[in-house]
Amino acid sequence: MTEKSLAELRRSVAGAIIAPVDAGYDDARRCFNALVDRRPAVIVRCFGADDVATALDFARTQALEVAVRGGGHNPAGHCVCDGGLAIDLSLMRRVDVNGDARTARAEDGATWLDFDSATQACCLVTPGGVVGSTGVAGLTFGGGIGHLTAQHGLTCDNLVGAELVTPDGSVVHATADENSDLLWGIRGGGGNFGVATRLEFRLHPLERVIGGRLVYAGKGVSEALRRFRDLVARAPRDLSCGAVLAADDSLEPILIVAPCYTGAEDDPEELRSLRSAPGLVDHGVHPHSFLAQQHVFNPPYGEDRNYWKSTFVRELPDELLDELLRRMAALGRPPGQVLFESLHGAPKDAEVENNGAVGFRQAAFNISAMATWRDTAVDEDHIGWARDTAAAIEPWSVSGGYVNYMQADEPIERVRAAFGEETFARLQALKTRYDPDNVLRRNQNIPPL
């Protein structure tokens, strides 16, 4: 890439070009995971589908690897690449809501906070992720598990249309009537087929939730964790509920349970049961807005080093819970956390089963070993902890793990297992049609045939 070609690129986009010499380069290349430190040759902050096509064309003519950035949260750091071109969509965040049709159209750089703020202004919602700064497109393309999963399914189940720029620069639309196979593929198959510039979602009415977090500490955590598991197994679909297991500085376990109830009762039996579990030290569950619920977890951006490994499991037996509790002390310092995401309720509905490239609906939970730390000197210890913890969960595994949480070093076999053989083969055929040269390979990659 020459000075001249870069100058031409600067003139040909409506958005902004950020090269290493430009102010703001270090901020623009930073992503959620501080473990990732990559230096793209150029970052193209796109403003519209034409800019995306121009960026893809420039990358092709200059033989640059391509990365695509939405919210910058992918733990593998797929939104940046060394020496390549990063297509940054963060200028494109508009969300338009059609209250009568109960649909919303989001530009491809919108975050969940952008999206939920717009839809909640009309008392509507679609099930997204649990952290507001996560990108809508990136999360949706990997499935999408969050505070309303039991009620309304995975995020991708609610995706009804998309506009994408394919690597050859064409603009394609994917709906139930037009390129329906592409819609099927982006519902779970990741950003493998094109750069999405607009997504359209189905919305559901929602005025308030009963939510927040319950915190348990010390010896009661073991019993509270079992209570969470049993409750979720029989929970009605108007209650989604996740949990996070961590440890304090003296390595005593801490459990945070985050329910999100949308039914008509003021104090449902399931929440009473959680409140009465032993070890409760903080009861922060009450009626509030869904936007407040989206702030229950607010991790800092770009500060912690992260290494995650997720496993879908068919059950959560006592033996596994006890092992996970032991693992919280195994490193001799707080290792990070284990996240429990339940897949009960709407994700299991028969009518959504074949509508997307999702291979984990049959699982009961997604269990993720999420090592987090700051000191670069202990990288290997924490990475080892996440790997060993995932290995301890593996005997109960039903698929290769959640693509949205995968690190870059996951082998292709785990990506393949995440979808299952049949779905993976269908995704490969789709990839061959839309991206035969694997231009979009910095992702949980589906290689073309």
Determine if 134 is a binding residue for ligand FAD (CB under 6 A): yes
Determine if 84 is a binding residue for ligand FAD (CB under 6 A): no
> Sign (positive/negative) of CA torsion 23, 29, 34, 38?
negative
Between 152 and 277, CB nearer to ligand FAD: 152
Determine if 139 is a binding residue for ligand FAD (CB under 6 A): yes
Report the residue from 132, 135, 185, 253 that binds ligand FAD according to the rule CB under 6 A.
Answer: 135
Number of Cβ atoms within 10 Å of the Cβ of 389: 26
Do 293 and 212 touch, CB atoms closer than 8 A? yes
Determine if 78 is a binding residue for ligand FAD (CB under 6 A): yes
3-state SS, residue 384: helix
Q: Helices (DSSP H) in 259-329: which residue ranges? A: 269-275, 290-293, 318-327
What six digits make up the tokens of 302? 């770009």
Number of residues located near ligand FAD, criterion CB under 6 A: 37
In 3D space, the residue among 228, 15, 225 whose CA is nearest the CA of residue 107 turns out to be 15
Distance CA 245, CA 225 (A): 9
Distance CA 424, CA 155 (A): 20
Distance CA 221, CA 241 (A): 16
Do 447 and 438 touch, CB atoms closer than 8 A? yes
Determine if 277 is a binding residue for ligand FAD (CB under 6 A): no
Between 252 and 437, CB nearer to ligand FAD: 437
Between 164 and 221, CB nearer to ligand FAD: 164
Between 42 and 68, CB nearer to ligand FAD: 68
Task: Provide the minimum distance between the beta carbon of 193 and ligand FAD in the complex, in angstroms, as a whole number.
Answer: 8
Task: Provide the minimum distance between the beta carbon of 113 and ligand FAD in the complex, in angstroms, as a whole number.
Answer: 12
Between 49 and 215, CB nearer to ligand FAD: 49
Number of Cβ atoms within 10 Å of the Cβ of 283: 13
DSSP letter (8 states) at residue 111: B
Determine if 89 is a binding residue for ligand FAD (CB under 6 A): yes
The residue to which tokens 């915190």 are assigned: 215
Among 62-70, 231-239, 277-285, 415-423, the segment contacting ligand FAD (CB under 6 A)? 62-70
Between 25 and 297, CB nearer to ligand FAD: 297
Task: Provide the minimum distance between the beta carbon of 170 and ligand FAD in the complex, in angstroms, as a whole number.
Answer: 15
Distance CA 371, CA 334 (A): 9
Determine if 188 is a binding residue for ligand FAD (CB under 6 A): no
Task: Provide the minimum distance between the beta carbon of 182 and ligand FAD in the complex, in angstroms, as a whole number.
Answer: 12
Within 291-350, which residues bind ligand FAD (CB under 6 A)?
A: 299
Do 116 and 125 touch, CB atoms closer than 8 A? yes
Determine if 195 is a binding residue for ligand FAD (CB under 6 A): yes
Between 222 and 293, CB nearer to ligand FAD: 293
Determine if 90 is a binding residue for ligand FAD (CB under 6 A): no
What is the Cα 30 distance to its own chain's centre? 18
Report the residue from 43, 79, 182, 232 that binds ligand FAD according to the rule CB under 6 A.
Answer: 79
Distance CA 191, CA 426 (A): 15
Determine if 196 is a binding residue for ligand FAD (CB under 6 A): yes
3-state SS, residue 289: coil
Interaction site with ligand FAD (CB under 6 A): 31-32, 68-75, 78-79, 89, 108, 129-131, 134-135, 137-139, 141-146, 190-191, 195-196, 299, 404-405, 442-443
